[in-house]
Structure 1
Amino acid sequence: ERDMERIAREIHADEVDILFDLAGHTAGTGLAALAWKPAPVQLSGLGYMATTGLKTVDYFVTDHCCDPTGSGSEAFYVEKLLRLTSQFCYNGYTHLPRSTGTPARGRGYIQFASFNQYQKFRDPVLRAWQEIMERVPQSRLLLKNNAYSKPGVVQSAYERLRRLGFDMSRVQFECATQDYMLRYLDVDIALDTFPWPGGGTTCDALYMGVPVVSYYTERHSTRFTYSLLANIGLSDLASTSLSDYVETAVALAGNLDLLDALHRELRDRMKTSPVMDQERYIREMEECYRAVWNAWESENTSR
């Protein structure tokens, strides 16, 4: 608490006009410093999926897909909402090879995958994946993340999936490696987690040509992947019910022509979308900064 107070005093001494928190309630956050209100205008967003809960934070940065105008999503926030076209601004990696088509063509089976954090693999998620694999004969599932560098975690995950009815001869666990992005070239379809979807992980998959199937509800925290898919013209891959999530994955696995086309065109879709339009993103953020500062000046000069 003392460190946060010191940080807040330093920010105040620097005469910061607009303070933007990018971490929310995540590990190592400095969010507590904002409770001291060291800057006249304070924002949060982008790095966390929900409200800060702090009345000293004035605005939350989101987008029109995660929090549509008129949806009533304001009820979930103590902050006022600032909506961008896309709250994501993805850079991509120019040196990485493109997908030349869905690997299933040459391999003879569908490889599903999730590279999301292990903590997001809740039982309802795993049950949905088990049903998908059961309905797509010979399909396999690749699970890759940092947690699987620990043998004990792998053993625990193995037993958990076995109890849930998975054919474990079709499941592979991998720890995160330097060739993380290249590994997507072996994946046909990425399965998103819920209610906490991917963000950067989804961007990586799409950039590498892998379509992502997602499930979302009315809450901001469930809609990250939906926002990304909507911004590249593939909102049909995001479902509003669990049964449709399963059906979408199964149908996509059965349509190799569509899968092939998506693998070849997804990088271009990303590059020409708001998700990778850096100039547009900067312009919209600058407009937000001007708007919130003008609002603060107007309110305080009228007193």
Structure 2
Amino acid sequence: MYQAQLDVLLYPEVGIDPVCAQLAALRLAPVQAMAWGHPQTSGLPTIDVFLSSELMEPPDGAGHYTEQLLPLPGIGTYYIPLEVDPAPVDWQAWGVDPDRVLYLCAQSLFKYLPQYDEVFPRIAREVGKCQFLFLRGRLSQGIRERFWQRLRRAFQAYDLAAEEYVVLLPELSPAEYAAYNALGDIYLDSLGWSGGNTTLEALPHGLPIVTLPGSLLRGRHTYAILQQMGILDTIAHTLDEYVQIASQLGLDPEWREQMGQQVKRRQERVYRDRTPIRALEKWLQSLKT
């Protein structure tokens, strides 16, 4: 790579792939930048610029990075929706009750922090006939068991049994995951570390989306997506409001349908947006001067 004599080196992420992180620690180009594929600072002196999103950054965003912050317009990416046909799935064999209000909790379990466990029994207490569908994925048995025990304690604190409301689904294929999105009634964004691709992949299925933006980029992905679609009614400002919105969607099928239709009609606003590309081009061209 040294022989290539690069002018600029762009990393889609730094921090997930170990090889990528090792390369980012080297000075391979005069200007090196990373994007929000891993949504927090690299902390590396060899990364000069962090390519972020104008809609995702809080007002004090620049203070959270060792890199120079460069927010690109909108959600900061040119997103092309996946085209995956849902596969037939026997959901009832996995414990799903299709007659209940189904809340999709689609993030990896490690994104669900203990301080927010209470939101699920609080919603269940208000809605009654509902289920929360989590994905246990490839995580170890130990992580899954600790998560399950946390939820059991959280539901017990509200005199409810987690077994009545929570389903941990196995790892799903892409087609089964599309069916999962099609199955759900409401999408609950994870708190503290928001859904990015996960939220974008849910949009074609017309799910109302509940989110509570955090104080950092990583907690504001879904907030930005809803902002770009102009859907503000399901953005909460407090934990209590998050529970209230999620519960109201569960109890009011007419409002749930209305919000889902808004998502379906406006999803194109976040697809194939060229403005971040043009802004990136402008920045790259500015490096020549």
Aligned to 1:188: 185
Instruction: Report the TM-score when normalising by structure 2.
Output: 0.84
Amino acid at match of 1:160: R
Aligned to 1:72: 60
Among 252, 257, 272, the residue aligned to 1:277:
272
Aligned to 1:300: none
CA-CA distance at 1:78 after TM superposition: 1.6
**Deviations 1:249-285, CA, capped at 9 Å, x for gaps:** 11222331121133334233112x1x21243343232
- Aligned partners of 1:191 and 1:87: how far apart in 2? 23
Aligned to 1:301: none
SS at match of 1:61: strand
- Aligned partners of 1:53 and 1:220: how far apart in 2? 15
> Based on CA coordinates, which of the two structures has the bigger radius of gyration?
1
Q: Is the 8 A contact 2:77 2:273 kept in 1?
A: no
Among 149, 171, 174, the residue aligned to 1:176:
171
- Aligned partners of 2:284 and 2:122: how far apart in 1? 47
* Gap runs ≥5 in structure 1: 1-9, 98-106, 298-303
* 1:255-294 superposed matches below 5 A: 255-271=252-268, 273=269, 275-291=270-286, 293-294=287-288
Among 10, 13, 33, the residue aligned to 1:23:
13
SS at match of 2:207: coil
What is the number of residues matched between the two proteins? Answer: 271
- Aligned partners of 1:151 and 1:56: how far apart in 2? 38
- Aligned partners of 1:29 and 1:190: how far apart in 2? 34
Correspondence 1:63 to 2:53: yes
Among 143, 146, 153, the residue aligned to 2:137:
146
CA-CA distance at 1:153 after TM superposition: 5.1
- Aligned partners of 1:251 and 1:189: how far apart in 2? 11
Aligned to 1:37: 27
Among 73, 76, 83, the residue aligned to 1:87:
76
Q: Is the 8 A contact 1:216 1:241 kept in 2?
A: no
Q: Is the 8 A contact 2:78 2:274 kept in 1?
A: no
Q: Is the 8 A contact 2:14 2:42 kept in 1?
A: yes
Percent identity, aligned pairs only, is 23
Instruction: Report the TM-score when normalising by structure 1.
Output: 0.81
Seen in structure 2, the aligned counterparts of structure 1 residues 94 and 33 have a Cα distance that, compared at 3 Å, is closer
CA-CA distance at 1:62 after TM superposition: 0.9
Aligned to 1:103: none
User: Which stretch shifts more, 162-171 or 133-142?
Assistant: 162-171
Q: Is the 8 A contact 1:214 1:226 kept in 2?
A: yes
Amino acid at match of 1:33: L
Aligned to 1:129: 120
* Gap runs ≥5 in structure 2: 87-97
Amino acid at match of 1:135: E
Amino acid at match of 1:276: Y
User: Which stretch shifts more, 118-127 or 25-34?
Assistant: 25-34
Seen in structure 2, the aligned counterparts of structure 1 residues 258 and 290 have a Cα distance that, compared at 3 Å, is farther
Amino acid at match of 1:119: F
